[in-house]
Amino acid sequence: MVKCPKCGVEVANPVKAWSMIRKPSKSGEMWQLTMGLYECINCKKKFRNILGKKKITIKGILQEIKALEEKVMESAKKRAELEEKVKSLEEEKACLLAEIEALKAIPELEAKISALEPEIAKLKEEKKALEEKAAPAEEKTAEVPPAEAPAPAEEKPSE
């Protein structure tokens, strides 16, 4: 909490906050300052205050750059993985849509089956009747022995 410079009332939260880099000192040090703009709830006076200080070095900047590069590389890998997942999910979706279309044809096929069942029953009855008619004819042919075929002549090898 920060005190108002005019009336001394404590103000909890800044209205606005921002970061800025201070000019380098004579020794070459650079500082990043986080500033806050406050408004007193009692006298309505606006004033600034430093929220934080951070010393900036080239080594620190290089480390931040490396960390950001690593994050970018990780993001690129994740993006590639997600693109592969999207592709596989799209393929799965296409397969499922094809399967749905195939399942839509099932009622039509069931209707055809139910229409063909009476015809199949008639054909089975006709087959049975024809088999019964063919059975007496087979019995008559079984009583007559078949004519014996002559034995094949043996061939003599030629020398």
Asked if residues 55 and 31 have their Cβ atoms less than 8 Å apart, the reply is yes
Q: pLDDT (tens digit, 9 = 90+) per residue, 55-111?
A: 888 788 889 899 999 999 999 999 999 999 999 999 999 999 999 988 888 888 888
pLDDT of residue 56: 84
Asked if residues 4 and 47 have their Cβ atoms less than 8 Å apart, the reply is yes
Round to whole Å and give the CA distance between 63 and 151.
Answer: 103
SS3 43: coil
For all residues of the chain together, what is the average pLDDT?
Answer: 86
pLDDT of residue 137: 67
Asked if pLDDT for residue 124 goes beyond 60, the answer is yes
Boundaries of every domain in the chain: 2-56
Confidence tier at 157 by pLDDT (50, 70, 90): low
Mean pLDDT value of segment 144-148? 56
Run of H or E residues at 150 = none
Distances (CA, A) of 130 to 29, 121, 124, 134, 137: 111, 14, 10, 6, 11
pLDDT of residue 88: 96
Instruction: Give the right CATH number for 2-56 from 2.60.40, 1.25.40, 1.10.1060, 2.30.30.
Output: 2.30.30
Round to whole Å and give the CA distance between 134 and 131.
Answer: 5
